[in-house]
């Protein structure tokens, strides 16, 4: 592949990715639609898993019972969660949630959603927390 | 489960390692690439091996119950729908470091409360007989005293002082200790079968 074609190819990929992100962002509104969204305590910039130290690649011995199945972040965590008010959530009252409460704030994460994404990087009262399922 | 993702005052960003350990998920941290085990909160490989993330008290319950207890709660901007899994099928797990105990929700629901000692700490596990989605785990230490709680019509009663505590908020409503609050302890829920696999050395209540 020539350098020009390579660049065109990469730009094409970026365009496809941008459309994907736009669609995902539209969907992320979910039941709340245009309800005001509140930023959580995650991180906006993440790192490339391939650029970070990997104990397995480095030849470390893992404890017995360790079973690799997928690559890092193949099930992508929610690194930058957004929230809506309880009234705007529109959830079924019987929805199972993981709830955490601090001195100043309380947050709820629906288990059905966590089933698919497994991890949310967030904070509670300003302290960094990880919600996992 | 909810963990404090912080080590020596430094926040950690964790990702999904995509591997199982103790039949549960593992994480990788963006700074060092160490691999972490979810149920123990401990790094099992990499530079941070042996480090442990603290558990944060969390509650698995219904949206209706959570909003009743926390009207100002915010909700993750994601779809929420009814799940077939009910809490009565699960166990409440108390992990206090040197000892981990699983409590059968169905049995607890009949008893209302169980007084126990885990890792040397007097605790009480409380389940609402009318709705097993409502539960709490408390330390039974109130100042220098230790309360022995039993279920009564108007709440949880300390056998020694007659103090009546609100079962789900832990506040003493009347009696000698009125106004005092029981400290909540970290706990989480899991399927009894998972508990046996993840914590082979763990204790189960009731025994046998």
- Contact between chains at B38 and A132 (C-beta distance less than 8 A): yes
* Co-location of B20 and B91 in the same domain: no
Judged by CB atoms closer than 8 Å, whether chains meet at B66 and A47 is answered as no
* Chain A residue numbers touching B78 (CB-CB < 8 A): 28, 30, 109-110, 113
Q: So what's the ipTM on this one?
A: 0.76
Domain boundaries, chain A: 1-34, 35-132
> A83 vs B74: CB contact, 8 Å cut-off?
yes
For B198, the enclosing helix (H) or strand (E) is helix B192-198
B56 within a domain of the structure (yes/no): no
Residues B11 and B73 reside in one and the same domain? no
Mean pLDDT of chain B: 91
- Residue B172 forms part of a structural domain: yes
Q: Does residue B54 belong to any structural domain of this protein?
A: no
Residue B1 maps to a domain: no
Coil, helix or strand for A45? coil
pLDDT more than 90, % of chain B: 65
> What are A58-62's contacts with CB under 8 Å, separation 24+?
A60/B45, A60/B46, A62/B21, A62/B35, A62/B44, A62/B45
The span from the CA of B88 to the CA of B128, in Å, is: 11
Q: Is residue B182 part of a domain?
A: yes
* Lowest-pLDDT range of A23-32, A105-114, B149-158, B161-170: A23-32
Which tokens sit at B186?
């970290």
Cβ contact (<8 Å) for B61 and A66? Answer: no
Nearest residue of chain A to residue B85 (CA atoms): A96
Length of chain B: 208
Task: Give the ranges where B47-130 is alpha helix by DSSP (H).
Answer: 63-69, 105-111
Distances (CA, A) of B77 to A28, A105, B71: 7, 16, 17
Burial class (CB in 10 A: 0-12, 13-18, 19+), A12: exposed
pLDDT at A109 over 50: yes
Assess whether B68 and B25 both reside in one domain.
no
CB contact under 8 A, A97 and B58: no
By three-state DSSP, how is residue B197 classified? helix
Structurally, chain B folds into a number of domains equal to 2
- pLDDT bracket for residue B85 (50, 70, 90): low
Mutate which: A41, A85, A98, A126, vs B, most B CBs within 10 A: A98
CATH code of the domain covering residue B113? 2.102.10
| Burial state string for A36-62 with b = 16 or more CB within 10 A and e = fewer than 16 | ebbebbbeeebeebeebebbbeeeeeb
pLDDT tens per residue across span B162-176: 999 999 889 999 999
Residue B35 sits in the same domain as residue B95: no
Check CB contact of A34 with chain B, cutoff 8 Å: no
Residue B116 placed within a domain: yes
List pLDDT tens digits, range B177-206: 999 999 988 888 888 878 887 888 999 999
Cis peptide before B206 (omega within 30 of 0): yes
Query: Which residue range(s) make up the domain with B163?
Result: 63-205
Is A94 close to B62, i.e. CB distance below 8 A? yes
**In the numeric block, which tokens belong to residue B133?**
């989605």
**Partner residue opposite B76 with nearest CB, options A49, A96, A109:** A109
């Amino acid at each position: 592949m020539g350098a020009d074609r390579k660049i065109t190819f990469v730009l094409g990929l970026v365009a496809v990715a941008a459309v994907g992100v736009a669609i995902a962002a539209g969907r992320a509104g979910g039941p709340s639609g245009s309800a005001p969204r509140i930023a959580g305590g995650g991180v906006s910039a993440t790192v490339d898993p391939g650029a970070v130290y990997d104990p397995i690649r480095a030849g470390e011995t893992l404890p017995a019972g360790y079973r690799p199945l997928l690559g890092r972040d193949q099930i992508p965590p929610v690194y930058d969660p957004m929230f809506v008010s309880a009234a705007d959530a529109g959830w079924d009252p019987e929805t199972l949630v993981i709830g955490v409460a601090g001195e100043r704030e309380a947050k709820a994460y629906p288990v059905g959603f966590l089933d698919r994404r497994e991890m949310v990087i967030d904070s509670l009262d300003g302290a960094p927390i990880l919600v996992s399922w | 489960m909810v963990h404090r993702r912080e080590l020596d005052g430094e926040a950690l960003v964790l990702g999904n390692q995509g591997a199982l350990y103790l039949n549960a998920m593992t994480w990788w941290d963006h700074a060092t690439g160490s691999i972490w085990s979810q149920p123990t909160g401990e790094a099992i490989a990499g530079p941070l091996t042996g480090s442990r993330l603290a558990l944060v008290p969390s509650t698995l319950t219904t949206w209706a119950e959570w909003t009743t207890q926390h009207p100002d709660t915010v909700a993750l901007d994601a779809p929420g729908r009814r799940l077939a899994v009910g809490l009565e099928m699960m166990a409440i797990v108390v992990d206090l470091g040197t000892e981990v105990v699983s409590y059968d929700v169905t049995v607890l629901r009949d008893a209302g409360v169980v007084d126990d000692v885990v890792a040397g700490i007097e605790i009480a596990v409380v389940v609402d007989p009318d709705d097993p989605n409502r539960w709490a785990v408390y330390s039974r230490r109130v100042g220098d005293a230790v309360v022995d709680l039993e279920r009564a019509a108007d709440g949880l009663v300390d056998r020694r002082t007659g103090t009546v505590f609100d079962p789900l908020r832990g506040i003493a409503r009347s009696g000698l200790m009125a106004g005092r609050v029981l400290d909540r302890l970290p706990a989480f829920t899991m399927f009894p079968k998972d508990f046996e696999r993840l914590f082979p050395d763990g204790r189960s209540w009731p025994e046998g």
